[in-house]
Chains A and B, each alone.
Chain A
């Protein structure tokens, strides 16, 4: 049973570029959440997708956008990259309404901005 998979594992970009990160949820899960984890800090919630719509959003600018596909996989897009966007981006999956079931995380994408 495959868990949450994310691609790519590492990415290097320069300021001003845009990037797309991808996530496939654990089998049986229909909800995908994205988190940004800066070095030495806890993950910060970016947004959550369910039924192909953004259900919740954290305190992130509109440069951060996402999408969920009919097969529940998801993309995170970041435009006009800044140095401060360098971080580990984590994807978590869960089942809608299953608030007392643990969320499952992928290994993340390490994004470095030069």
Chain B
């Protein structure tokens, strides 16, 4: 069965950096886009970034463009989100998910990892 596991969330000071990782299993990783979606406390879902199976198509939300970098290593079935110049408004649970350009949208999700940006 499909599984995605995020790691790397932590408490970080404003201006700091953090690297999130997502390790997948149960599907052919290189065939799928991988997305990072975040949810601020008490708020809705927001696409942060996604990357195509081959890594040649990448999207960033305006709110993170220039500060976050998405990457993937298909040999390790993993994807990463490097987050620099973090701000208080980046505080959220970050989910990785398979998709969104599959027939089944975001068909599988990880459990999420909490990023807190605070001094």
Q: Is the pairing of A and B real?
A: no
Binding site for B on A (CB under 8 A): none
Binding site for A on B (CB under 8 A): none
